[in-house]
Each structure stands twice: as C-alpha cells, then as structure tokens.
C-alpha cells in the first residue's frame, strides 16, 4: 500500500498537468473500484477547473472550482500517469488505452491523466470542499508529520501511558497521518528503538527524538521518489528508488548496516504485518 512518500511523489508529478487546469473531459469506464463511484461523477468533473491539488495522509485531494473536492486513493495497485504533457525535459505521448484504465481525465492543456488499477483496491469520491474534514475517510486523521501540529510535546502527550507497541502506535493514523509499515520500520531503526517496546515505556527524550527522525525518513523517501515494491510508479511512469536505501525493511537475514554490529536483520509478524529490525541495535 503506498505510504505518504509515494502519494506525495505522485501528487507532485501531477501538479504541472492538473493544478490550475480545466478538465475538458472526464471518462469513468466502470461503476466502481473498491467502492461505487459517486453519482454522475464524470459529469460533475467535466468542465471543472482544479484550483489546488493537495495531499492529506495517504489521499490526494483535488479542489474544484465547483466547490467540490475529488478524493483519490491509490490502493494497492492504483497508478496515476500523465501523457501528452511536458514533464521536465520529457514529453510522454498518449498510450493505447489499457484494460484497467478506469478513470481518464483529458485536460484542456493537452495532458491526459489516467487512473489504472488492476486489482481495483483504489477509490475515488466527491465531497463538498467545505465539509471535507467530516468525510468518513478523512475524519479523525492525526496531524501531518511535516506540519507544525506534529511536534515533540504533542507526540509525548499522545504516547504517554499507551499499552500498545510503539510500532503499532506510530501506524495509528489518528496519532500521525501517512505513516505506514515500511517507514515506521526505518524510523525505529534510526531511533534505536525496538518495535515491540510499549509506547508508554519510552522516555520523553526517546519520544521527542522520533519527531525529527520521522520527518527525516519521509523527506529522504520523497526525494528518492518513494519506494517501488511491486506496483508503485511515479506519475511519469518511473520507479521510485528509496527501496535501495532500506536499512532494515525487506532485508531479513542480511547484515545490519551499523558499523561494528555483527547481527542479522530479523523479521517477525506484528499486528498482521512484517516487522524488520536489528535485535542488537534496537532496544
């Protein structure tokens, strides 16, 4: 499932083609993805201008001049690609329509933005922009990790006394938005904290130290274009490459990269997900 860096990378790739541009035609080629599309979605999008293209947690939000906002969730295999529009020094011609091109936006500027999703775990919805905070997918989501509301005192307060493992707590979208399994594993490795430690057992110093590390790991991943594991692609079709710099994730049985450490990276199941860690460096 794409996490914050992947979604942010896609959003940034879509900006030149979509933000400020008019949707000259929207084609919806099936009635649903993970859930049914909103009623008359194609008609509600066609002829509308995208005033802003934003991200909230793992969702892309397109604010329209109609007063509605289009919510886009990539799901496990969803891709949004741009063709017919210059991105940097490259021009991507329109490809032949593919079987799983479920939603297609033809923009007035000549760009075509295609949402392709082979497994159909993605989603799109339309909502009143002014009421978006109450949308069932967005309601209750915690602060953005790069925002001012996510700070040391906030995280210390939210984790105080919690009985759940620290990894589980950081995956809770009500505590912090956008973090997923890959990047929490990487953050805890950099912090030297075992993923099984109870969140409430961490000292204030340890919790405070997580805030800059979360931002650092996410910023590094965004700069690398995200992590490509299986289906993820950037908006220009290219792979992300942060996976080549993983310290623990997906490195089971490989040597720890910390100087002087002789341990191997271990994997175990935690809350239904694979957790990777160094048993020597993380305490």
Catalytic residue numbers, as ranges: 2-3, 58, 273
Eight-class DSSP state of 165: B
Give the distance between the most distant pair of CA atoms in the chain.
62
CA 94 to chain centre: 26
Q: Is 198 left (phi over 0), alpha (psi -120 to 50) or beta?
A: beta
CA distances 112 to 4, 14, 75, 200, 260, Å, are 24, 10, 21, 49, 51
Question: Are 60 and 11 contacting, i.e. CB atoms less than 8 angstroms apart?
Answer: yes
In whole angstroms, what is the distance from residue 253 CA to residue 265 CA?
Answer: 5
In whole angstroms, what is the distance from residue 106 CA to residue 114 CA?
Answer: 9
């Amino acid at each position: 499932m794409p996490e914050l860096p992947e979604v942010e990378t896609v959003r940034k790739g879509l900006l030149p083609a979509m933000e400020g541009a008019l949707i000259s035609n929207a084609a919806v080629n099936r009635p649903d993805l993970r859930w049914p599309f909103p009623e008359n979605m194609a008609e509600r999008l066609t002829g509308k201008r995208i005033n802003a293209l934003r991200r909230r947690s793992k969702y892309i939000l397109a604010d329209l001049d109609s007063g509605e906002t289009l919510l886009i969730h990539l799901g496990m295999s969803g891709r949004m690609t741009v063709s017919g529009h210059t991105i940097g020094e490259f021009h991507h011609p329109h490809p032949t329509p593919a079987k799983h091109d479920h939603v297609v936006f033809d923009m007035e500027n000549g760009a075509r933005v295609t949402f392709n999703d082979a497994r159909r775990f993605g989603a799109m919805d339309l909502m009143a922009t002014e009421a978006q905070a109450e949308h069932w997918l967005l309601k209750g989501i915690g602060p953005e990790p790069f925002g001012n509301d996510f700070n040391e005192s906030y995280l210390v307060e939210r984790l105080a006394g919690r009985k759940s493992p620290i990894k589980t707590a950081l995956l809770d979208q009500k505590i912090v938005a956008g973090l997923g399994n890959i990047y929490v594993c990487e953050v805890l490795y950099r912090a030297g904290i075992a993923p099984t430690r109870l969140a409430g057992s961490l000292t204030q110093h340890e919790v405070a130290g997580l805030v800059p590390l979360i931002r650092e790991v996410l910023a590094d991943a965004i700069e690398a274009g995200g992590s490509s594991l299986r289906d993820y692609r950037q908006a220009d079709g290219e792979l992300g490459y942060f996976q080549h710099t993983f310290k623990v994730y997906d490195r089971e049985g490989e040597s720890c990269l910390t100087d002087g450490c002789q341990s191997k990276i271990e994997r175990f199941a935690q809350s239904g997900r694979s957790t990777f860690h160094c048993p020597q460096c993380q305490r």
